[in-house]
């Protein structure tokens, strides 16, 4: 063997061993192309169940790869009080590992504060709480108001903020240069001299190692059915339901959202009033109106108190705030409160179930060690005993799931949930005629649930349960069932491919009856829905949709296509609803368009039922007597339909400015463009318009247009219209 090669290799061993030890200190990360990345990003993702979603790509600056040496330097800086002007406060003073990388205070204490966590005293009380740093690499923007684009930009703020660390960047660099250990660390991590940009780059690199993706929920989502307790499973069903609507903002797998929402959190009675800071992310309707980011719920059991100003001490208080309707429920004037924040009722058990599920999102397996010392020689924060964290983190036993599809047949008195779990991936559950009382979560792919026997089996929620069935897996079919008496919805499917509803009847199922959202490939046929407080058949944020040969009556809306692409609605009968058929674009949703919808061969007859929708919901604005409404949708073809006897209008084409408050800032095109209406049998509409239309001084008509949009065409000779002349 070449002696020079051997000597060189031996010389490299210490560096290799140090690098390996440092990598071991950051579990959950792997080295790829010289940088540390979360293992869930580095590996090819193949979801085991419909509950398991791919993590987004992290927000990483190209010039700041997350190398082991930059991470270790960032860890030392993070825990070193040398960053503050009086050398008393470190990043960890307000972002303590044992407190979910928060500080356990309703509002953080800045310059002059002593100690950490709930024991931190004195100093400047800030107006906002310290947000968690767990999974901050996935944040669309940083800070509660999104005023920083990256972790690097965010790290600059507290160091120089006069109320926080109050340090001058150049003086800090000068101080670091007097510490030989830091000089060496910066040279190894970056090369060259110390600079303020390198300081924040190192801190950001360290913060990108704070990943959490191996909670008991994640184990359950990967197919380990024993990872969650029965209480937590019930909480998960509530979390996914549109009774609670948690997942619509805190979506999987990050349990966060890139959007900024107005929910009406009250100002604290005992603290400083929040002050808007520029340049804040605009959010819904503009940042100054109180839009804040949707934070992650991962490790939320560790980060009390809650909200941007610490308004609520416990998760139970947070749940109560939402169930009471947010800020409006507290009597506050919140004109732009998010439409998803509505009142709902929970029993004490349901509230406990929901909180238990949020505890199951705890995972601190990648929590880095607090250094015994830092190069400045200043004191480092101490560990904080946290019994909540100890309770939230526990192991679960493994469960064997079927290796091949199974067919499970059940009758009344047997558990549909147990049957679905036993059938597993690609399995079929056959339900004999009779009545079943439960709500069911389907997480596996390829599942079919179908009724057999002389009459449809009935799933009855007794007006207590949230949703009948929640499906999350691809290739999901439900067939020949009756669902009735649920508070949330009938049959919901989230984010799946190839979904089929066939021969489903929904009666009195809460907000929606049939409800696929965020899906690709939806077929709804031969279904019947009645007595729901929003849309009987609702398809939202989806692509490649067919709704055909179905009946919807005595609902607020018969059928609604919202923010979808490529939809066919044909052969349906909508009667005695408030509005027969809606084709909508609504702002502040993941999908920003509703385009290429074909509406043909439908009957929209006598939709004159008074509106009984939630007064805080958009659907409550639909006037009684609406046959078909196009709201800001584009390229809709409407032909060969029978639209008759609707008392306000047969077809209305509107822009968002007809629905939303003046001055609202949208994230979608607010106008309907390129729609064509022709060859419909349309008569007898608009003869007794809704009082809200009359009050505005507007008439009822067969055709109604608010003059918004371009390229729209009406070819309906003989139909009454407002305005009297419409583009052809």
User: From CA 385, how far away is CA 403, in angstroms rounded?
Assistant: 43
Cα-to-chain-centroid distance, residue 151: 22
Q: What is the dihedral of CA 588, 590, 594, 597, to 10 degrees?
A: -150
- Taking alpha carbons only, the member of 258, 318, 220, 306 closest to residue 135 is 258
> Which residue is associated with the tokens 């008991």?
216
Structure tokens at 678: 């022709």
Whole-Å CA distances, 407 to 152, 422, 436, 457, 477: 54, 9, 19, 17, 14
Residues 612 and 641: beta-carbon distance below 8 Å: no
Ramachandran class of 453: left when φ > 0, alpha when ψ lies in -120 to 50, beta otherwise? left
User: From CA 107, how far away is CA 130, in angstroms rounded?
Assistant: 7
Q: What is the dihedral of CA 422, 427, 430, 435, to 10 degrees?
A: 50
Residues 554 and 533: beta-carbon distance below 8 Å: no
Structure tokens at 330: 């507290």
Structure tokens at 444: 């596996």
438 is catalytic: no
Residues near 351 by beta carbon (within 8 Å), at least 6 away in sequence? 316, 319, 320, 323
Residues near 717 by beta carbon (within 8 Å), at least 6 away in sequence? none
454, burial (CB in 10 Å: exposed 0-12, middle 13-18, buried 19+): exposed
Q: Where are the alpha helices (DSSP H) in 493-543?
A: none
Q: Helices 151-160 and 196-207 meet at what angle, rounded to 10?
A: 120
- Count Cβ atoms below 10 Å from residue 385 Cβ, excluding itself: 9
The active-site residue, picked from 72, 152, 164, 207, is: 164
Whole-Å CA distances, 279 to 107, 276, 577: 21, 9, 46
Residues 249 and 478: beta-carbon distance below 8 Å: no
User: From CA 247, how far away is CA 250, in angstroms rounded?
Assistant: 5
Residues 243 and 234: beta-carbon distance below 8 Å: no
User: From CA 567, how far away is CA 655, in angstroms rounded?
Assistant: 20
Q: In the chain, count of helices (H) and strands (E)?
A: 16, 37
Residues 340 and 248: beta-carbon distance below 8 Å: yes
Q: What is the DSSP letter of 251?
A: B
SS3 221: helix
- Known catalytic residues? 164
């Amino acid at each position: 063997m070449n002696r020079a090669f051997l000597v060189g290799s031996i010389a490299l061993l210490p560096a290799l061993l140090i690098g390996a030890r440092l990598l071991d200190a950051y579990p959950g990360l792997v080295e790829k192309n010289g940088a540390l990345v979360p293992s869930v990003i580095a590996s090819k993702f193949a979801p085991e169940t419909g509950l398991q979603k791919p993590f987004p790509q992290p927000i990483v600056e190209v010039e700041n790869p997350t190398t082991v040496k930059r991470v270790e330097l960032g860890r030392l800086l993070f825990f070193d009080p040398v960053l503050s002007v009086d050398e008393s406060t470190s990043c960890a003073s307000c972002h303590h590992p044992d407190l979910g990388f928060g500080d356990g205070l309703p509002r953080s204490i800045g310059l002059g504060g002593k100690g950490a966590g709930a024991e931190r005293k004195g100093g400047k009380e800030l107006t906002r709480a310290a947000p968690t740093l767990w999974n901050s690499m996935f944040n669309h923007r940083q800070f509660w108001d999104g005023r920083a684009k990256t972790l690097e930009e965010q790290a600059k703020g507290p160091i120089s903020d006069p109320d926080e660390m109050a340090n001058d960047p150049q003086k800090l660099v000068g101080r670091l240069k007097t510490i030989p250990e830091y000089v060496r660390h910066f040279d190894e991590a970056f090369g060259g001299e110390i600079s303020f940009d390198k300081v924040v780059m190192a801190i950001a690199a360290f913060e990108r190692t704070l990943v959490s993706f191996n909670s008991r929920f994640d184990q359950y989502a990967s197919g380990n059915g024993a990872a969650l307790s029965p209480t937590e499973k019930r909480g998960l069903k509530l979390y996914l339901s549109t009774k609670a609507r948690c997942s619509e903002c805190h979506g999987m797998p990050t349990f966060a959202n890139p959007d900024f929402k107005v929910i009406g959190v009250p100002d604290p009675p005992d603290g400083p009033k929040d002050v808007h800071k520029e340049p804040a992310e605009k959010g819904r309707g503009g940042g100054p109106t109180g839009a804040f980011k949707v934070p992650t719920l991962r490790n939320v059991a560790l980060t009390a108190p809650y909200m941007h100003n610490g308004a609520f001490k416990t998760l139970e208080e947070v749940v109560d705030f939402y169930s009471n309707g947010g800020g409006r429920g507290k009597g506050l004037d919140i004109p732009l409160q998010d439409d998803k924040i509505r009142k709902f009722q929970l029993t004490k058990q349901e509230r406990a179930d929901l909180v238990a599920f949020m505890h199951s999102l705890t995972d601190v397996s990648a929590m880095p060690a607090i250094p015994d010392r830092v190069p400045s020689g200043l004191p480092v924060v101490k560990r904080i005993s946290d019994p909540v964290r100890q309770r939230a983190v526990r192991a679960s036993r493994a469960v064997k799931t079927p290796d091949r599809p199974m067919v499970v047949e059940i009758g009344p008195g047997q558990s549909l949930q147990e049957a679905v779990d036993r059938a597993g991936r690609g399995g079929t559950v056959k339900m004999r005629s009779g009545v079943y009382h439960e709500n069911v979560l389907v997480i596996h792919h390829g599942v079919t649930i179908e009724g057999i026997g002389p009459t449809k089996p009935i799933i009855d929620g007794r007006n207590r349960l949230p949703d009948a069935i929640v499906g999350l897996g691809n290739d999901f079919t439900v067939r020949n069932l009756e669902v009735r008496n649920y508070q949330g919805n009938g049959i919901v499917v989230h984010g799946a491919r190839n979904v089929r509803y066939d021969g489903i009847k929904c009666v009195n199922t809460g907000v929606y009856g049939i409800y696929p959202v965020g899906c690709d490939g939806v077929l709804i046929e031969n279904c019947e829905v009645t007595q729901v407080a929003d849309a009987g058949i609702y398809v939202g944020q989806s692509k490649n949709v067919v709704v055909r040969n179905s009946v919807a009556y005595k609902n607020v809306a018969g059928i609604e296509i919202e923010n979808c692409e490529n939809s066919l609605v044909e052969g349906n009968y909508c009667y005695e609803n408030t509005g027969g058929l809606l084709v909508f674009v609504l702002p502040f949703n993941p999908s920003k368009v509703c385009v290429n919808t074909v509406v043909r061969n439908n009957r929209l007859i006598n939709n004159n039922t008074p509106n009984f929708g939630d007064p805080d919901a958009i659907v409550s604005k639909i006037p009684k007597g609406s046959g078909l409404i196009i709201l800001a949708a584009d390229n809709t073809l409407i032909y060969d339909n029978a639209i008759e006897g609707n008392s306000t209008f047969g077809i209305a084409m509107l822009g968002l400015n007809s629905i939303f408050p003046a001055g609202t800032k949208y994230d979608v095109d607010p106008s309907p463009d390129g729609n064509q209406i022709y060859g419909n049998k349309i008569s007898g509409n608009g003869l007794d318009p809704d009082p809200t239309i009359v009050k505005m001084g507007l008439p009822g008509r067969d055709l109604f247009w608010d003059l918004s949009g371009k390229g729209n065409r009406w070819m309906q000779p003989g139909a009454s219209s407002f305005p009297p002349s419409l583009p052809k």
